Structure 1
Amino acid sequence: MVHQGHNVKRIREILGIKQDALAIKLGLSQQAISQVEQKEILDKATLEKLSSALGISEDTIKDFKDEKAINIFSNNYHDNTSVQYNFNPIDRWLETIEENKKLYERLLQSEKEKVELLERLLKKV
């Protein structure tokens, strides 16, 4: 028998979606998604919401089989081409460092403002 909850989990994993991200998209908790993935049969409303959030049909959840997915990948990606990135990783690394620097400066400024506020409050006391 098909376990629809397990199918949701496998599809979610294949799509690279974490439970908490799916939960946010559906307005649920991560624990609720975990519970859904444990259910053998999902009600119609749940199937509709999940299929919409995952961008797939309800039938895909109902009829999903790992073997079919493997066949789709092997039939469509058999040429062993590698992924080409259109960015320089060093540039991305430097951008990240710069973003972290700006974040740190904002945090430091916020802390300075807190200290100034506390000093003014203490002078009044």
Structure 2
Amino acid sequence: MVHQGHNVKRIREILGIKQDALAIKLGLSQQAISQLEQKEILDKATLEKLSGALGVSEDIIKDFKDDKAIHIVSNNNYHDNAASVQYNFNPIDKWLEAIEENKKLYERLLQSEKEKVELLQKLLNK
């Protein structure tokens, strides 16, 4: 028997999409995605939304088999023969990296201001 929820999970994993990212794309919680992946049969509206978010047809979700995985990934939304690159990243990781960069920048700015104050104090004490 086909388990559509498990098929969604396998396709998502093969495409390198985390539950959180899929949830954001669909306007759902990560827990809701987890629950969907446990369902044996998905309703038509849910199948439509998931297939759109994953970039695969509903039939692929319904009839997915691991041996078809290479075909899905290699033909996912690419209808020409041009080379394509798909980048997958966790937006939270990127956000944390940006915070760290801002922290370093702030520390450098603060150090520069301290040096200016010290220089001004030296000039005033002469």
Q: What TM-score comes out, normalization by structure 2 length? A: 0.59
Q: SS of the residue aligned with 1:28?
A: coil
List aligned pairs for 1:40-59, cutoff 5 A: 40-59=40-59
List aligned pairs for 1:18-97, cutoff 5 A: 18-69=18-69
Q: Percent identical across equivalent pairs?
A: 78
Give the match for residue 124 of structure 2: none
CA positional deviation for 1:5: 0.1
Change (3 A) 1:107 1:48: farther
Task: State the AA in 1 paired with 2:34.
Answer: S
CA positional deviation for 1:61: 0.2
CA positional deviation for 1:67: 2.1
Which ranges of structure 2 fall in alignment gaps of 5 or more residues?
A: 74-98, 111-126
Spell out, residue by residue over 1:54-109, the C-alpha distance to the aligned partner (whole angstroms, 9 max, x if none): 01100000000012225778xxxxxxxxxxxxxxxxxxxxxxxxx95554223686
Which ranges of structure 1 fall in alignment gaps of 5 or more residues?
A: 74-98, 111-125
Change (3 A) 1:72 1:17: closer
Structure 2 contact 11–69 (Cα < 8 Å) conserved = no
Of structures 1 and 2, the one with the larger relative CO (CA 8 A, separation 6+) is 2
Q: What TM-score comes out, normalization by structure 1 length? A: 0.60
